[in-house]
Amino acid sequence: MNDDVLLVHGGTPVEGEIRVRGAKNLVPKAMVAALLGSAPSRLRNVPEIRDVRVVRGLLQLHGVTVRSGEEPGELVLDPSRVESANVADIDAHAGSSRIPILFCGPLLHRLGHAFIPGLGGCDIGGRPVDFHFDVLRQFGAVIEKRADGQYLEAPRGLRGCKIRLPYPSVGSTEQVLLTAVLAEGVTELANAAVEPEIEDLICVLQKMGAIISMDTDRTIRITGVDKLGGYTHRALPDRLEAASWACAALATKGSVYVHGASQREMMTFLNVFRKVGGEFEVDDAGIRFWHPGGPLNAIALETDVHPGFQTDWQQPLVVALTQASGLSIVHETVYESRLGFTEALNQMGARIQLYRECLGGTPCRFGQRNFLHSAVVSGPTTLQGGDLVIPDLRGGFSYLIAALAAEGTSRVHGIGLINRGYENFIEKLEDLGAKVERP
């Protein structure tokens, strides 16, 4: 059996219930934050995804014990014996995810040095980390580029500083938070990212004893403290996974109840979902998403930083837009190369044209720089099953949605990548009545 290929027999609406657990874009960061504590931490609602397994391995390499807690999805992290790790062992995790770079601040605080391997993450743009290293230098870190990664030291310790990010980068904001909380003095971070996962990380750090404020102009101020304790925290739900299943319901004319989905973090998505013609109902335990019948509406969509339309929602929604009547306009302003996945959709019968121009009013760094970062989606189109090779995490799930909506059977190759951010997605597909099988 080839466990990296999935056969998807399309044409059946997804119907039923699934559960989402803690957010892929918070849980690994909260695990890294435990490194900063002088006492054990307890993290709940942890999903079984690859990004969590990567960080668990990296923490254990550095002497942190990570064990399962009493309740399902609970981790207990004990940082009392943090130690240097063997570079070759760290390197084994090179290319696995974005998270290793967030070890810089905590390891500099705990050990006075850090080695960071090459990063992974979705291939949706250059994914530079210049902002990260700029802010670390401002704190006092000395960074040496080596063949297999970056070696950092803090010869004079880490001191608070005044930072303005060139762009509200999520990872760079997290880099500042995880470094500033134990740095000497006050740090001011202007033009910070304020995604819900950032706010949840601030809650984690505050529980540990950090002093962090967020101003109305997205300026975050951190007053360094001498010591942090442990935390007990239940991670916020994964709004990205929840939206992905909602788009599957829309594209296949189905109905999915997502246990654990939270309206608060999904308000912008819910507005767009409703404009396209989807229906949803919120209750205390989750959200039901369904296609009410009749035509879907084409829309104009621009991705942006929070509270704008989250870029990670874009790819699954584009598949649903192939089923909408009329011309939809999509302007991807966060990543320069996040529309490449549409080529395979066109081969299935979609009609999506990409443009270098900014097709929208949101200020964008990619206009006139030769990036195909806008799209016009003409629909509705009938999709035919085909051979699909997964390019990235959200593009991969989007291909599953397209295969579910298509006539005939699709072979989806490289499905292992989807485990990075979607817990037990094959079981969930089966729970929703999807006709999938391993060849």
Residues of this chain that interact with ligand PEP (CB under 6 A) are 24, 97-98, 121-122, 240, 312, 393-394, 421
Helix, strand, coil proportions of the chain in percent (round to 5)? 35, 25, 40
Q: How far is CA 433 from the centre of its chain?
A: 26
What does 270 interact with, of ligand PEP, ligand UD1, none (CB < 5 to 8 A by kind)?
none
Distances (CA, A) of 215 to 207, 221, 299: 19, 8, 33
Catalytic residue among 122, 203, 247, 358: 122
Q: How far is the CB of 132 from ligand UD1 (least distance, A)?
A: 5
Please provide the size of the chain in residues: 439
**Residue 24 marked as a ligand binder:** yes
What does 394 interact with, of ligand UD1, ligand PEP, none (CB < 5 to 8 A by kind)?
ligand PEP
Query: What tokens were used for 102?
Result: 């967030």
What does 170 interact with, of ligand PEP, ligand UD1, none (CB < 5 to 8 A by kind)?
ligand UD1
Cα(172)–Cα(165) distance, integer angstroms: 8
Query: What tokens were used for 361?
Result: 């009013």
3-state secondary structure of 284: coil
Contact indicator for 64, 38 with CB cutoff of 8 Å: no
Q: Which of residues 319-378 bind ligand UD1 (CB under 6 A)?
A: 334-335
Contact indicator for 175, 135 with CB cutoff of 8 Å: yes
Confirm or reject binding of residue 172 to ligand UD1 (CB under 6 A). Answer: yes
Residue the block writes with tokens 């304790």: 229
Asked whether the CA dihedral 267, 393, 424, 71 is positive or negative, the reply is negative
Q: Which of residues 88-117 bind ligand UD1 (CB under 6 A)?
A: 98
Residues whose CB is less than 8 angstroms from the CB of residue 26 and which lie 6 or more positions away in sequence, other chains included: 197, 200, 201, 235, 236
Residue the block writes with tokens 């699954």: 316
Q: Which of 175, 179, 135, 131 minimizes the C-alpha distance to 157?
A: 179
Among 56, 79, 100, 131, binds ligand UD1 (CB under 6 A): 131
Among 132, 207, 291, 428, binds ligand UD1 (CB under 6 A): 132
What does 421 interact with, of ligand PEP, ligand UD1, none (CB < 5 to 8 A by kind)?
ligand PEP
- Contact region with ligand UD1 (CB under 6 A), list: 108-116, 167-175, 226-234, 347-355: 167-175
Q: Which of 239, 198, 282 minimizes the C-alpha distance to 21?
A: 239
Size of the site for ligand UD1 (CB under 6 A): 21
Q: What's the chain's Rg over C-alpha atoms?
A: 22
Query: What tokens were used for 15?
Result: 């119907």
3-state secondary structure of 369: coil
Torsion of CA 207, 213, 214, 217, to 10 degrees: -170
Q: Which residue, judged by CB position, is nearest to ligand PEP in the bound state?
A: 121
Is 203 part of the annotated catalytic residue set?
no
- Contact region with ligand UD1 (CB under 6 A), list: 34-42, 57-65, 126-134, 317-325: 126-134
What does 393 interact with, of ligand PEP, ligand UD1, none (CB < 5 to 8 A by kind)?
ligand PEP
Among 32, 152, 170, 258, binds ligand UD1 (CB under 6 A): 170
Contact indicator for 167, 144 with CB cutoff of 8 Å: no
Among 105, 125, 149, 230, binds ligand UD1 (CB under 6 A): 125
Q: How far is the CB of 150 from ligand UD1 (least distance, A)?
A: 13
**Residue 98 marked as a ligand binder:** yes
**Residue 25 marked as a ligand binder:** yes
What does 169 interact with, of ligand UD1, ligand PEP, none (CB < 5 to 8 A by kind)?
ligand UD1
In the annotated binding site for UDP-N-acetyl-alpha-D-glucosamine, the residues are 98, 312, 334
In the annotated binding site, the residues are 24-25, 98, 312, 334
- Could you give the residue numbers annotated as active site? 122
Binding site for ligand UD1 (CB under 6 A): 25, 98, 125-132, 167, 169-172, 193, 195, 311-312, 334-335
